Structure 1
Amino acid sequence: MNSASSKAIFGLTALTGASFVGWVAGVQYSLRTRNLHPAKRDDRLVVSENVRSMPGLPLFGTVSAASPILPSNGDVPEMGSKFSTVTASRISQIMKYGFPGHDTIRSYEDFVLSYDRRNRVAHWVFEHFNKEMLRSNENAVDRSKCEFKPDESIHPYFRSQNTDYKGSGYDRGHLAAAGNHKRHQTHVQQTFLLSNMAPQVGPGFNRNSWNRLEKYVRRLADAYKEVYVCTGPLYLPKIESDGKKYVRYEVIGSNHVAVPTHFYKIVVCETHRSELEMEAFVMPNVPIDDATPLQNFRVPPDTVERAAGLLFFDNISRDKLTRINGKKLK
């Protein structure tokens, strides 16, 4: 390992401690042991071993851009019309009075999100833009007129409110960045809905390093034909003094809005030759030295998928990607 890589590894280790580096190291260790000893697989996300002996950051891995496992016809099992009819009838009977929840997707004019009603923060937010879309319509758009507002499309039980953030010490941090949606006033205003917000540390994070990451992603539109971005929160485990793993996070306000421990951005860029490249970033929700290179926060996309419980860009086969985190695959 060269000295530059060592500095990057230990720089990020100092920033995130066992919480993040331990998580990544655990995943990498799990993947290695699973490949070497299938009978002794270890699915831990955090390990108690010395994280400095494990792979550090930046790390390069594979992206688990997979589709759900379905029968060959992509539909329900082929077991006869009688079975299907009986099954449908039984499901209808069981769920006669409604499903507890399947209403999580919200489509706005210029972005889409999946809302976590328990934590009052989105699971993920998806954006798409190119160079032309990022051109500001200065005659029609005025960000100063935007106001943070509760999202009335969310059931009142599950909405976050401005009062939850007041006095909390946290910023209302955009997931879909306002700077990505400057073509129409409605577009930028919708990014100020609280369903698009998460509690973020202000100085050193939301106003600094996270903002640097947002600007970096926007600049990708200068070099690529199309840019697709998925952003969201993570709640990562940490090994504590008793040697056990815990997921601990603060909640704020009367609605108990969750404060994520980390945030991720997964980016897919389409070149002018229709090639696809991917980058994945995870940042701890803490003050970060502005001198820390963004490349220090690159992680293997599959580790984010495992931690978030999500498959990102699952319509893209892995063999369609030409680069991951800047590393050429073909």
Structure 2
Amino acid sequence: MRRLCRTGATLLFGAGIGASASRLLSSRGGEEEEEDRPALLSRVPVIPVPRVQASELTVTPGGTGAVMKYGFPSLANIKTRESYVTSYDPRTRTASWVIERLNPASLTGPSDRKRCDFKEDDSVHMFHRATSADYRGSGFDRGHLAAAANHKWSQKAMEDTFYLSNVAPQNPHLNQNAWNNLEKLCRSLTKRYLNVYVCTGPLYLPRQEDDGKLYVRYQVLGRNHVAVPTHFFKVLILEQADGRGVELRSYVLPNEPIDEKVPLERFLVPIETIERASGLLFVPNIMKRTGSLQAITDR
């Protein structure tokens, strides 16, 4: 294991991110792994980031300018919707990331999911967009990145989450169980924090094969070759209601069934793990906004 130090504290950093999903699920947070079983999912604590002005914290839903308060993880193919912002990857036919802001006001309202249907994103060139036909008979769910239930405040906002550019192929068991529980956790955190910023995206992680080399392999669906992620990530930026600062949490889940007995805390990872694996950057944006970053080792 390698250790990454910041501001006098220590975070566990996985020696590699190419483990198979079964190895990831069997890893135990904080324990050294065998050399052939690199630990991606080391258990790490919440990271508090101080010095956010209370006057900057808002509770009204909508407004994509507020959604991007902590900057863009990348700058390619940015698209703005009613209540989320996304960066689209035309090669994979899915988003690289989606950012949304949750608070009690965004989670309540008159919207009706039954009035929503998945739809092609006609802002994407026809060569590079996914269609529902790509998913049909594939055995994968159309998994939301920005969850529909996060945007009940507006029918338009909820309908915008059904663009296929906000969707990625997801194992049905994962989508309906562990991933759904993680989405519920994000919503429940709005009871403790003023705003919950959620960045979600796919990962395509390498794994070691029989020849001892690392390869990135993933399935594609349909005539448009929609990429099936090997994993998904969520990065949470939690604004404290008293204005003292924000906290940072980050999760990585494999795109396969997860035993319901495995707690979500098992999938907490250092933010650097996601930054290295995805090519995105979160910490520099937060530091620019808040002025400092302090890591701790215990909650």
TM-score range, shorter chain: 0.7 to 0.9
Aligned with residue 80 of structure 2, among 107, 116, 125: 107
SS at match of 1:314: helix
Kept in 2: contact 1:233–1:260 (CA 8 A) = yes
- Residue 178 of structure 1 pairs with residue 183 of structure 2: no
Aligned to 2:37: 51
The letter of the residue matching 1:182 is K
Q: Is the 8 A contact 1:15 1:288 kept in 2?
A: no
Q: How far apart are residue 55 of structure 1 and its match?
A: 8.4
Equivalents in 2 of 1:154, 1:55: separation in Å? 34
1:231 alignment partner, SS class: strand
8 Å contact from structure 1 (residues 276, 323) kept in 2: no
- Cα distance in 1 for partners of 2:206, 2:105 equals 41
Task: Name segments (4+ residues, structure 1) moved above 4 Å.
Answer: 18-22, 60-63, 321-324
Alignment of 1:124-139 (within 5 A): 124-135=97-108, 137=109
| Contact 2:41/2:266 (<8 A) preserved | no
CA RMSD between the two structures: 3.1
2:206 equivalent to 1:220: no
1:97 paired residue number: none
Specify every segment of 5 or more residues in structure 1 that has no aligned partner in the other structure, as ranges. 1-8, 30-46, 64-101
Whether contact under 8 Å (1:61, 1:302) holds in the other structure is: no
Give distance in 2, aligned partners of 1:133 and 1:282: 25
Which protein shows a greater Rg? 1
Asked if the contact 1:19/1:238 (under 8 Å) is kept, the reply is no
CA distance in 1, matches of 2:262, 2:40: 19
Residue 21 of structure 2: which of 16, 23, 48 is its match?
Answer: 16
Indicate the SS of the match to 1:51.
coil
Letter of the 1:58 partner, please give it: R
Q: 1:320: Cα distance to partner? A: 3.6
Equivalent pair of 1:276/1:322 in contact (CA under 8 Å): no
Q: By how many angstroms is 1:133 displaced? A: 1.9
Corresponding residue for residue 39 of structure 1:
none
d(CA) in 2 for partners of 1:169 and 1:242? 30
By percentage of residues, which structure has more helix?
A: 1
Deviation at 1:290, TM superposition (A): 1.3
The 3 A distance-change label for structure 1 pair 129 and 182 is: same
Identity across matched positions, percent: 46
Aligned equivalent of 1:67: none
Show CA shifts across 1:142-196 (max 9, x none): 1101000000111111110000000000000000000101111111011001000
Q: Is the 8 A contact 1:276 1:321 kept in 2?
A: no
Within 2, Cα distance between the matches of 1:151 and 1:291?
37
Q: Report the AA paired with residue 81 of structure 2.
A: Y
Alignment-mate amino acid for residue 280 of structure 1:
S
How many angstroms apart in 2 are the aligned matches of 1:215 and 1:56?
21
Counterpart of 1:190 in structure 2 is 160
For residues 246 and 148 of structure 1, do their structure 2 counterparts lie closer, same or farther at Cα, with a shift above 3 Å needed? same
Q: Deviations over 1:102-134 (max 9, x none)?
A: 861100010000000000010000001212221
Deviation at 1:19, TM superposition (A): 6.7
Structure 2, unaligned runs of 5 or more = 1-13, 49-74
**Could you tell me which of 212, 236, 250 is aligned with 2:205?**
236
8 A contact 1:148–1:192 mirrored in 2 = yes
**d(CA) in 2 for partners of 1:55, 1:282:** 9
- Residue correspondence of structure 1 range 273-312 to structure 2 within 5 A: 273-274=242-243, 275-312=245-282
- Residue identity opposite 1:167 in structure 2: G
Higher RCO (CA 8 Å, separation ≥ 6 residues) = 2
Report if aligned partners of 1:225, 1:270 keep a CA contact under 8 Å in 2: yes
Structure 1: distance between partners of 2:275 and 2:41? 18
Question: What amino acid is aligned across from residue 246 of structure 2 in structure 1?
Answer: L
Shift of 1:57: 2.2
Aligned to 2:179: 210
* Secondary structure of the corresponding residue to residue 211 of structure 2: coil
> SS state of the match for residue 225, structure 1?
strand
| SS across alignment from 1:315 | helix
Q: 110, 121, 126: which one pairs with 1:156? A: 126
